[in-house]
């Protein structure tokens, strides 16, 4: 049985698709470049010419694009770096959520800062995913909206009181009834 080989897209040399690195058998079949052009651990999953420029120590140099928001160098698609894209999406989604559910605790009315507000699933058995900003960004709006309808917006103090049964179920259901008013907006 012959050894399977691939051809490096940069230098044109053939390289084995299975090799032992650091005592472990590694599968290189998804690599685009040989280990000479892109050393192990350099994540050669992007266009080599754009992204894998190396300095004299073998570390990547990100010099293709500069993010107009923060000034960081990057080689990602689009003009903005990942962090600025994340922040931009967070702001947009946050404003959409705020316009729908408001920015105050549905139990006590706390409204000093939105960072102290969170969603509480009234029936945890129906929870599909958490409603933190990271989860919301990865999910389409219709699914986020359906998940929000299973929750009430509370401050961290009220959230703790709900979990320690200080707030009664009656108070939680009263807050949950607020969705009736919000449904008229949707």
The tens-digit pLDDT sequence of the chain (186 residues) is 567 888 988 889 999 988 888 888 988 888 888 888 888 776 655 555 555 566 677 666 555 778 898 988 777 677 888 888 888 888 888 888 888 999 999 999 999 988 899 999 999 999 999 988 778 877 888 898 999 999 999 999 999 999 999 999 899 999 998 887 776 666
pTM of the model: 0.59
* Rounded alpha-carbon distances, angstroms, from residue 64 to 20, 45, 49, 75, 165: 33, 16, 10, 6, 55
How many domains does the chain fold into? 1
Q: H/E element holding 159?
A: helix 156-163
Is there a domain that residue 21 lies in? no
Residues sharing a CB contact under 8 Å with residue 16, sequence separation 6 or more, in sequence order? 3, 4, 5, 28
Is there a domain that residue 55 lies in? no
Q: Which range of residues forms the domain containing residue 150?
A: 101-183
Of the candidates 115, 117, 93, 92, which has an alpha carbon nearest to the alpha carbon of residue 104? 117
Is there a domain that residue 137 lies in? yes
| Residue 137 token pair | 């960004």
Is there a domain that residue 43 lies in? no
């Amino acid at each position: 049985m012959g050894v399977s080989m691939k051809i490096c897209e940069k230098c044109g040399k053939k390289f084995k698709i299975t090799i032992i690195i650091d005592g472990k058998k590694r599968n290189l079949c998804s690599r685009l470049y040989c280990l000479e052009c892109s050393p192990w651990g350099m994540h050669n999953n992007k266009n080599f010419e754009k992204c894998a420029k190396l300095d004299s120590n073998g570390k990547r140099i990100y010099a293709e694009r500069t993010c107009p928001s923060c000034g960081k160098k990057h080689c990602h698609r689009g003009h903005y770096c990942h962090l600025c894209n994340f922040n931009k999406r967070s702001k947009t989604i946050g404003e959409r959520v705020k316009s729908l559910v408001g920015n105050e605790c549905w139990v006590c009315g706390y409204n000093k800062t939105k960072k102290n507000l969170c969603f509480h699933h009234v029936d945890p058995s129906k929870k599909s995913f958490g409603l933190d900003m990271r989860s919301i960004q990865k999910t389409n709006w219709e699914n986020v909206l359906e998940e929000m309808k299973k929750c009430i917006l509370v401050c961290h103090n009220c959230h703790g009181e709900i979990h320690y049964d200080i707030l009664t179920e009656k108070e939680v259901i009263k807050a949950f009834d607020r969705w009736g008013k919000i449904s008229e907006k949707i």
